[in-house]
């Protein structure tokens, strides 16, 4: 009997906790509070000038590539191949992603690295798409 009462009390507490967190997030949505996405830009590194503290990347498709140069502050967190590094460790040819402060002008992070080579026949994206034929013939 005591055990049942304990389990019942625990279930009531869990339910109350779940509803309170759900209502708090619903209130935020009603007020229009949204999570701010931090802006980021990525591309292929074409120039590194550690003495000036700048990185230049090439962004866009083959026909529409444009060069963007960013000044990297000393406070920016720099990672190369997922390990902490310095601006000197970033090399031409690497892929780089720049994260920005809320003002969307100041670089707060740089993540660079060499992408792993894809296996023959492997697609660019990890997400698998269903064949259209499989959807039609799914019940057969």
Average pLDDT over residues 62-84: 91
Give the DSSP letter string of 43-106: EEEEEEETTTTEEEEEES-GGG-EEEEEE--TTSEEEETTEE--GGG--TT-EEEEEE-TTSSS
pTM: 0.56
pLDDT of residue 60: 86
Q: Tell me the pLDDT band of 103, cut-offs 50, 70 and 90.
A: confident
Average of per-residue pLDDT across 36-65? 87
- Give me the residues paired with residue 45 across strands: 57
Domain range 40-113, CATH architecture: Beta Barrel (2.40)
């Amino acid at each position: 009997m005591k055990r049942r009462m304990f389990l019942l009390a625990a279930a009531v507490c869990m339910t109350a906790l779940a509803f309170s967190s759900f209502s708090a997030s619903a209130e935020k949505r009603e007020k229009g509070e949204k999570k701010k996405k931090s802006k980021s830009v990525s591309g292929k590194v074409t120039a590194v000038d550690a003495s000036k503290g700048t990185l230049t990347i090439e962004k866009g498709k083959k026909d529409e590539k444009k060069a963007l140069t960013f000044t990297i502050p000393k406070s920016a967190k720099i990672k190369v191949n997922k390990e902490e590094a310095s601006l000197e460790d970033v090399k031409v040819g690497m892929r780089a992603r720049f994260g920005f402060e809320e003002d969307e002008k100041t670089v707060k992070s740089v993540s660079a690295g060499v992408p792993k080579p894809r296996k023959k026949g492997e697609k660019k994206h990890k997400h698998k798409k269903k064949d259209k034929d499989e959807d039609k013939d799914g019940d057969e």
